[in-house]
């Protein structure tokens, strides 16, 4: 049933070298149910892939990779004007579109030539030439990995957006698409002709195009711009088209680039083509190793020959940095990075007053050493191509500027004390493309909704940050497929949260941790934990309490944070907690491979 050390390069359109510790393919929901009951499934990180057209394996995958081989396409005629088509998740998308066109069913022809499989269509909400998958999807049939039952979601349940859906966020990791039902029209006359080069197709042909003529035109256009994955590996469009404020576009971008095109989103935002930004930043054809900005379509990063994952990520970073510097816009990858490695940046290592404290002239508050300057506590976690913030301290603006934070995907909130949430309003730059995801307990959301209600109103003042809050319970949850385990700890008498992400855990403001929560921390590579001072405190661990806790957990490495001004100089803390235990400082970077 399971293959060991599976070579994944033939299963992705990039064709980059990568292996999976375990691999399994299934051809029915029964087989998937059987796999879900095995130790291999239960005890490993699980990644489901389709045609591999939107994946970048940065490293080997130390877990189980699943792939659907559920095939079959079935047609159901409801009436003379409506036809339902149900396709298995393992059907190639190009085969599905060809089947629809050959069957005289309109709706999918503009999506011809897109690599991948049917199961990925609702996940990515694939789109091209004025049509998105959401325009023809009726419902999506899934396997629920928690209940091990089949569920069906209607189109409106899926939260479809631009290259987006709930399957990429809160549903990722839980639901596996097994079948998709499409709603199509029984006609050979094409109707979606308002986008780009299709606008002139009727005039060029001298008649209203058929769906076959549209499909052939779309494939020809794609072939003229995009590399054939069978010859030149790529993931198609590597970057999303960025959304910027209309003011920034009109007053800043057009001032230096009068020809830059845009597509209106609403009264206050426009979408700018990423390919144009990349090309006009002078990056066409740029190569790093075997990776190349594809000359015919700069939105693509191609494997021009022998590229390594590091070549691709380095080139992508160069593109992002150059476009940001020259155009003032931050690009975000559309490609999903599969990268279990992690970089943690300690943005702030101080307690609620920070160090130095205002009005204090103790020796530490007068310290000339930079490592003794401590902003309020927060951390940034980079992994799987995402950047996740833990707490948004009142010093977040300073932290973001000094650490060059241009991208954030979500924020985890431990509790609602001001020194952990006071910078939430400064998240507004990350709300341009939609409400920013916040994860927190219900009492925290209630508190924030009361204190900064203007951010949570249905109708908000233009420019005010908007948030998409998700409630955290005792159960693990997912951010874009990344598993997050909440850790319940006690801050004096107040229940608050710490978080475990892979082999890393972050806990601050803890006084005690229940025994059942300690089990969630076994096997850590890195633990960041608070230790306020030498003297006992009613709501925070003292040095001795933190030492004892670390000894009990036995992480490979531990880092102490949330210091007040009584702790002494940073260099005096070194070695104070024992081997493999280190004092944090602002700007500290911790790597986990």
Residue the block writes with tokens 């003292």 = 542
Pairwise CA distance, residues 214 & 191, whole Å: 10
Instruction: Report residue 342: phi and psi, to 5°.
Output: -145, 140
- Are 393 and 422 in contact, with CB atoms under 8 Å apart? yes
Cα separation values, 400 from 140, 380, 389, 587, Å:
40, 10, 10, 11
For residue 30, how many C-alpha atoms fall within 13 Å in the half-sphere facing its CB? 0
Record the tokens describing residue 321, joined without a space.
Answer: 């940095």
Instruction: Report residue 353: phi and psi, to 5°.
Output: -95, -10
Question: Which residues is 349 bridged to in the sheet?
Answer: none
Record the tokens describing residue 541, joined without a space.
Answer: 């661990």
Mapping DSSP onto H, E and C, the string for 130-169 reads: CEEHHHCEEEEEEEECCCCEEEEEEHHHCCCECCECHHHC
Degrees to nearest 5, angle at CA 222 with 221 and 228: 135
Q: How many CB atoms lie within 10 A of CB 581?
A: 22
Catalytic site residue from 98, 334, 517, 545: 334
- Does 163 qualify as catalytic in the annotation? yes
Catalytic site residue from 237, 349, 378, 393: 237
Pairwise CA distance, residues 235 & 252, whole Å: 31
What's the sign of the alpha-carbon dihedral 21, 13, 128, 238?
positive
Catalytic site residue from 163, 376, 500, 533: 163
Instruction: Report residue 245: phi and psi, to 5°.
Output: -70, 145
User: First and final CA of the chain: distance in angstroms?
Assistant: 29
DSSP 359: T
Pairwise CA distance, residues 546 & 533, whole Å: 10
Nearest partner of 526 among 582, 571, 481, judged by Cα: 582
Nearest partner of 200 among 176, 217, 181, judged by Cα: 217
Pairwise CA distance, residues 384 & 430, whole Å: 19
Pairwise CA distance, residues 220 & 268, whole Å: 35
For residue 485, how many C-alpha atoms fall within 13 Å in the half-sphere facing its CB? 15
**Which residues are known catalytic residues?**
163, 237, 334
């Amino acid at each position: 049933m399971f293959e060991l050390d599976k070579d994944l390069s033939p299963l992705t359109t990039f064709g980059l070298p990568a292996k999976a510790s375990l691999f399994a393919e299934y051809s029915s929901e029964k087989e998937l149910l059987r796999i879900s009951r095995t130790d291999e499934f239960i005890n490993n990180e699980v990644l489901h892939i389709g045609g591999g057209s939107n994946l970048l394996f940065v490293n080997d995958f130390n877990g189980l990779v699943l792939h659907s081989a559920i095939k079959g396409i079935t047609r159901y005629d409801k009436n003379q004007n409506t036809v339902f088509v149900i396709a298995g998740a393992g059907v190639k998308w190009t085969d599905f579109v060809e089947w629809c066109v050959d069957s005289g069913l309109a709706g999918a022809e503009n999506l011809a030539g897109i690599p991948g499989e049917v199961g990925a269509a609702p996940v990515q909400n694939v789109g091209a030439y004025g049509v998105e998958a959401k325009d023809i999807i009726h419902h999506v049939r899934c396997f629920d990995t928690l209940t091990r039952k089949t569920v069906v979601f209607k189109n409106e349940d899926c939260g479809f957006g631009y290259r987006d859906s709930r399957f990429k966020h809160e549903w990722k990791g839980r639901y596996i698409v097994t079948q998709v039902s499409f709603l199509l029209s029984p006609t050979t006359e094409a109707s979606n002709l308002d986008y780009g080069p299709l606008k002139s197709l009727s005039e060029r042909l001298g008649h209203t195009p058929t769906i076959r003529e549209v499909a052939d035109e779309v494939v020809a256009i794609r072939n003229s711009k995009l590399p054939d994955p069978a010859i030149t590996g790529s993931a198609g469009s590597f970057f999303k088209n960025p959304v910027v404020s209309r003011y920034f576009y009109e007053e800043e971008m057009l001032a230096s680039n009068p020809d830059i095109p845009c597509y209106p989103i609403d009264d206050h935002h426009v979408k700018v083509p990423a390919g144009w930004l990349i090309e006009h930043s002078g990056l066409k054809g740029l190569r790093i190793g075997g990776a190349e900005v594809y000359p015919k379509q700069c939105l693509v990063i191609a494997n021009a020959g022998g590229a390594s994952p590091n070549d691709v990520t380095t080139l992508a970073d160069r593109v992002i940095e150059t476009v940001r510097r020259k155009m003032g816009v931050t690009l975000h990858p559309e490609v999903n990075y599969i990268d279990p490695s992690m970089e943690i940046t300690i943005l702030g290592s101080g307690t609620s007053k920070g160090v130095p404290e205002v009005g204090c002239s103790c020796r530490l508050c007068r310290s000339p050493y930079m490592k003794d300057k401590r902003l309020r506590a927060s951390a940034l976690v980079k992994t799987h191509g995402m950047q996740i913030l833990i707490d948004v301290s009142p010093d977040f603006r300073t932290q973001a500027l000094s650490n060059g934070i241009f991208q954030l995907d979500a924020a985890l909130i431990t509790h609602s004390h001001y020194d952990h949430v006071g910078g939430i309003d400064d998240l507004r730059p990350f709300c341009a493309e939609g409400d920013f995801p916040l994860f927190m307990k219900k009492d925290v959301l209630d508190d924030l909704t009361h204190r900064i209600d203007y951010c949570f109103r249905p109708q908000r003042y233009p420019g005010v940050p908007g948030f998409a809050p998700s409630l955290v319970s005792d159960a693990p949850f997912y951010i874009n497929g990344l598993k997050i385990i909440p850790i319940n700890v006690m801050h004096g008498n107040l229940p608050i949260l710490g978080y475990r992400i892979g082999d890393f855990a972050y806990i601050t403001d803890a006084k005690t941790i229940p025994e059942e929560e300690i089990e969630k921390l076994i096997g850590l590579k890195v633990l960041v934990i608070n230790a306020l001072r030498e003297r006992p405190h009613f709501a925070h661990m003292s040095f001795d309490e933190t030492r004892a806790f670390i000894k009990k957990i036995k992480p490979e490495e531990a880092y102490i944070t949330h210091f007040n001004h009584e702790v002494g100089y940073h260099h005096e803390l070194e070695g104070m907690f024992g081997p493999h235990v280190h004092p944090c400082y602002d700007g500290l970077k911790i790597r986990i491979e």
